[in-house]
Amino acid sequence: MSLRNLISDAKYAKELQKQYVIGDSLEVFARYEKGLIESAIPNREKLYCPYKKCAKLLSHDEKEIAIKGKCPWCAGLLCARCRVPWHTGRDCQQFQKEEKDREDYLRVKLLAENRKWKNCPHCNSLVDKVDDGCVHITCWCKEEFCYACGETWSLSHWNCQTR
């Protein structure tokens, strides 16, 4: 059964429900109808608009050559292969590598926040301190700084008030 036939049947069903379904049942029936249409589309062909304000169900046959598409509901450009907004200037392979790198970066950033790691003020590398260790840190780039406040280390800084 094609998507067009399903939509056509759905329009006919809407006319029937206006005549025979009352009140809250109408909303329940509409949700059931939407689920019925979604379940009729094979999972590998389901594609949802990647824009949060839209997120409508689209259909995409993976055998189709075209990967750049336009959502008929919100007119947003999308990549059917990556299932994301269109990645202008990058092919899918480049985009997916960049996306993986970005995800890895975000995981490390979250870990650093949870463990309260600091960035070196000179080279921006992440630095960890032993729990009961000194706040005087020497980064691999040879920058010396205070782990508590991030200021450049000096002989008079041994008594940092930020602790």
Condensed to tens digits (0 to 9), the pLDDT of residues 44-65 reads 778 889 999 999 988 776 666 6
In this prediction, residue 42 carries a pLDDT of 81
> 127 falls in which pLDDT band (50, 70, 90)?
very high
Q: What is the pTM of this model?
A: 0.51
The mean predicted confidence, pLDDT, of the chain is 83
- Tell how far CA 130 is from the center of its chain: 34
CA distance 89 to 101: 18
Distance CA 75, CA 59 (A): 15
What integer pLDDT is reported at residue 117 of this predicted model? 92
Q: Residue ranges of the domains in the chain?
A: 1-40, 46-115, 117-163
| Least confident interval from 7-16, 24-33, 53-62 | 7-16
The predicted pLDDT at position 106 comes to 93
- What is the residue-wise DSSP string for 76-111? -EEETTTTEE--TT--HHHHHHHHHHHHHHHHHHHH
As a whole number of angstroms, the distance between CA 92 and CA 79 comes to: 8
